[in-house]
Amino acid sequence: MKGAIDIKSIKSRLERIANLLLLNASFIENLGLLNGKMGIAIFFFHYARYTNNKIFENYADDMVDEIL
C-alpha cells in the first residue's frame, strides 16, 4: 500500500515540475545543460516517454531547435 502512495506522489511531483517548466522555460536565457534550456529539453524528452504524450516530445524538439 505504501508503494502506491509513493508512486502517486512521484507522478504528482513530476506533473508539477513539468507545468512549472512549461510556464517558465521561455524566459530562461541560459542555453546550457545544467541550468538552461538544454536540460529542460532533455527533461521533456524523458517526460514524453514516461507519459506517452507526444506533445511533450514536440515541445522538447522546439526547444532544441531554438537552442540551435
Number of domains making up the chain: 1
- Segments forming the whole domain that contains residue 37: 2-67
* pLDDT band (50, 70, 90) for residue 1: low
> What percent of the chain is helix, strand and coil (3-state, nearest 5)?
80, 0, 20
pLDDT at residue 4 in the model: 64
Q: Which pLDDT score, from 0 to 100, does residue 3 have? A: 60
pTM metric for this prediction: 0.88
C-alpha cell of residue 52:
506517452
Q: Measured between alpha carbons, how far is 48 from 52 in angstroms, rounded to an integer?
A: 5
Which pLDDT band holds residue 7 (cuts at 50, 70, 90)?
Answer: confident
CA–CA gap between residue 5 and residue 10 (Å, rounded)? 9
